[in-house]
Amino acid sequence: MIAQNHFRRCFGVLLLGLLPLSVSAHIMSMSSGELVVSGSRVDYELRMPLYEIVHLEEPERSLLDNFRLYDEGGEVKASGGSCKANADEAVYRCEVTFEFPEPVEQLEVECTYAAVTVPNHVHILKAVRGDVTEQAVFDFSFSRSEIRFTPPTTAELFFSQAATGAVRVIVGPFQMLFLLALVLAGRSRKELCSLAGAFMLAQVIMAVVLVFKPWQPPPRFIEAAAALTVAYLAVEILILPAAGHRWLVAAGMGVFHGIYFGSFLQQSEMDPLYVLTGVVAAEALVVALFGYLASKVIAGVPQLRPVKTGAALLFVVGIVWFVLRIRS
C-alpha cells in the first residue's frame, strides 16, 4: 500500500510539473547575440524572436537589464543602447555599447533572458575580438560565462561543443518528454533500441539538413505537431498495445527534435559533428536510465499498470500542449 501511494504521488507530481511546461515553454525558444570588441569598446547586438516578448510590458528595459558585462568583478554599465522591432524578420533587435576603462582582454558575461522570456530559453552569444571568435550558451542553468579570446585546441573545441549538445538534452523539458515517451512505448529491450535508433537517426538527419539548407518553420506549427506525435504514441500504448511500426512515430518525433538542433546549429555556427555527438550520447544515457527505472517500477508495482498510467499522463500533456499552442 505504501508503494502504491508513493507511485501515485510521483505521477501526480510529474503531471503537475509537465502541464505548466505546456504553457510556459517553447521547443524553439532561442535568441542570438554578437559582441564585437574594439579596444576598450564593446558593441552588443541582440536578436530576439518577437513571439518571445509579447508578454513583456517594457521589452527594451526587461531585456537590457538581463544582460550584463563585468570587468574584474565590477559591472560595466552600458553607455548607450536602443531596441526596435522588425516585423519583416519577426525579430526584436537591440544594439548596446559598453565602454571599458582599459582595452578588453577578457570578458565576464551574465545573461538571464530565461528569467523574462520562458524557463527553457537559450541565448547563443558570439564574441569577436580581431581574428578570434568565442562562443557561449546561456540558459536557466548556466547564466554566467568568462570569455578569454584564446583560440581553443581541436580537443578543447570538441569536448566543449559536445558538452553543449549534451546539456541541451538534459536541461530541455520537451527533450526529456520525448525520451520518456520512447521508453514507455518500447515493449521490449530490442524494440526500445529500435525506437531510440529511429528517433536519433531522424533527428541527426534533420539537423544536418537544416545546417546546409537553412529553413525556419513557424514555431507554433512545430510545437503543435510535436505535441500530436506524443499524444498519438500515448494512444497507441493505451488502446493499440499490439500495433506495429512504432518506430515511424519515433522517427517523427526525431524530425521535430532535429529541427530544434538544426536551428541551434544555425545560430551558434558550432560544428554539427561535435554538437550532435554530445546530443546522441546524452540521449542514449537518458534512455538507458529511464529504461532501467521503468523496469524497476513495472516490476515493483505491476498491479498499478505503470506503462498505461504513464501513457495516460503523456496523452494529457500532449493534448493540452497541442491545444494551447494552436490557440496561442
Kindly state the percentage of the chain with pLDDT values over 70.
Answer: 91
Return the H-helix or E-strand segment holding 157. Answer: helix 154-170
Three-class SS of residue 312? helix
The answer to whether the CB of 93 falls within 8 A of the CB of 83 is yes
DSSP 189-248: HHHHHHHHHHHHHHHHHHHHHHHHS-----HHHHHHHHHHHHHHHHHHHHH-TT---HHH
Residue 9: per-residue pLDDT: 52
Question: pLDDT band at residue 231, thresholds of 50, 70 and 90?
Answer: confident
Candidates 1.20.950, 2.60.40, 3.40.50, 3.30.2010; correct CATH number of 30-151?
2.60.40
> Three cell numbers at 86?
522588425
d(CA 303, CA 156): 50
Mean pLDDT of 149-174: 89
Kindly give, in sequence order, each residue whose CB lies less than 8 Å from that of residue 313, ignoring residues fewer than 6 positions away: 11, 14, 15, 18
Alpha-carbon Rg of the chain, whole angstroms?
A: 22
Q: How many residues does the chain have?
A: 328
The answer to whether the CB of 13 falls within 8 A of the CB of 310 is no
Q: What is the pLDDT of residues 83-133, one digit of tens each?
A: 999 988 889 999 999 999 999 989 999 999 999 998 889 999 999 999 899
d(CA 215, CA 268): 15
> Three cell numbers at 91?
525579430
As annotated, the residues of the chain forming the CATH 2.60.40 domain(s) are 30-151
Q: What is the pLDDT of residues 263-273, one digit of tens each?
A: 899 888 899 99
pTM for the predicted model, two decimal places: 0.82
With 70 as the cut, is the pLDDT of residue 328 above it?
no
Question: pLDDT band at residue 6, thresholds of 50, 70 and 90?
Answer: low
Q: What is the pLDDT of residues 186-205, one digit of tens each?
A: 888 999 999 999 999 999 99
Question: pLDDT band at residue 232, thresholds of 50, 70 and 90?
Answer: confident
* Environment class of 17 (CB within 10 Å of its CB; exposed 0-12, middle 13-18, buried 19+): exposed
d(CA 255, CA 252): 5
66 phi/psi in degrees, rounded to 5: -110, 20
